[in-house]
Amino acid sequence: MSKPDNDLLQRFLFEQSDVRGEIVSLQDSYQTVLANHKQSAQHIPAAINTLLGEFLSAAALLSATLKFDGIITLQAKPKDASPLEVIMADCTRHNNLRAVARYDARKAPSDEQSCDFRTLLDGGYLAITIDPAKGERYQSIIAIEHDSLSECLNTYFQQSEQLPTRIWLSADSGRAAGLMLQALPVQLQSLEQRSELWQHLTLLADTLKAEEQLSLSHHEQLHRLFHQETLQLFGPTALQFSCSCSRARTTNMLISLGKEEVEAILKEQPSIDISCEFCHYVYQFSPKQAAQLFIDEPPTLH
């Protein structure tokens, strides 16, 4: 048995058919997200860490559906009773991943094992946002009424009247993985032939176990499931953790607060320190630097 793939997204096609797939395996990027959370004083239960891995895998899979430069974001907000306040992950067309979860430890159940998907998110909503570099932003909202993120995403594709799509996700404390099958517009098959193949392939994929997703290489997983089919496996695409925060964005945020609000903050503390919730990089602004933000640039001399 070969080693599992690490931070790779890979496309495959079923030859002479109108069905394609994507498979993803994450390790280093996922561990970076978990390490960033450990930098905060807040303890996050293992169940939420696992959910972060599933969100990352799902974001990577969905990014493969983008046909333009942009970013796709998955964000879930539970009802008020949940200890989980919000969880989100996004992936850019350039394969940059990041994720964050906010958790209220005061609402933690006595038994962490009860922190399953339904307990954490039931009654809330899942938002899927597509934000192109050029063009209008698009968002879909789905009520969370299922026992897993995979089922919620499957419902999203059903309701959006897109091409038939199924997703399978797994994560533990070390790795995260995902598999997606998607029917294509009918070209090589009749609609009936594609439907029959689709049913056959999804039944096979339903037999995939979490431990197989997390321990087998992409090639082994696909062979295990679809060895009777002829597959074309494309070269893998590398994924990595990358945060989009910057001093320029932080500066714009302070400017949007306004001069009076910034000055009020500086009356209470010697500097303004803003920590990115994704990577925990701290942007510091001294009183002089903060004041400079609100000084108009001098007119250009001609």
pLDDT tens track for 197-212:
999 999 999 999 999 9
**pLDDT confidence of residue 299:** 41
Q: What does pTM read for this prediction?
A: 0.85
Whether residue 110 has pLDDT greater than 60 = no
Lowest mean pLDDT among 19-23, 36-40, 100-104: 36-40
Domain 247-292 has CATH 3.40.50.2300: no
Whether residue 249 has pLDDT greater than 80 = no
Whether residue 71 has pLDDT greater than 50 = yes
**pLDDT confidence of residue 127:** 93
Whether residue 302 has pLDDT greater than 50 = no
Half-sphere exposure of 296 (CA within 13 A, CB side): 3
**Per residue in 204-237, pLDDT tens?**
999 999 999 999 999 999 999 999 999 999 999 9
Which is the CATH superfamily of the domain at 8-241?
Hsp33 domain (3.55.30.10)
**pLDDT confidence of residue 125:** 92
CA separation, residue 8 to residues 27, 81, 141, 213, 237 (Å): 9, 37, 28, 13, 6
**pLDDT confidence of residue 300:** 43
pLDDT confidence bin for 39, thresholds 50/70/90: low
Report domain extents, the chain. Answer: 8-241, 247-292
- Kindly report the average pLDDT of the chain as a whole number: 86
**pLDDT confidence of residue 40:** 60
As a whole number of angstroms, the distance between CA 258 and CA 255 comes to: 5
Lowest mean pLDDT among 18-32, 67-81, 175-189, 282-296: 282-296
Whether residue 111 has pLDDT greater than 50 = no
Q: Across the strands, what pairs with 269?
A: none
**Highest mean pLDDT, choosing among 77-81, 143-147, 240-244:** 143-147
As a whole number of angstroms, the distance between CA 11 and CA 141 comes to: 27
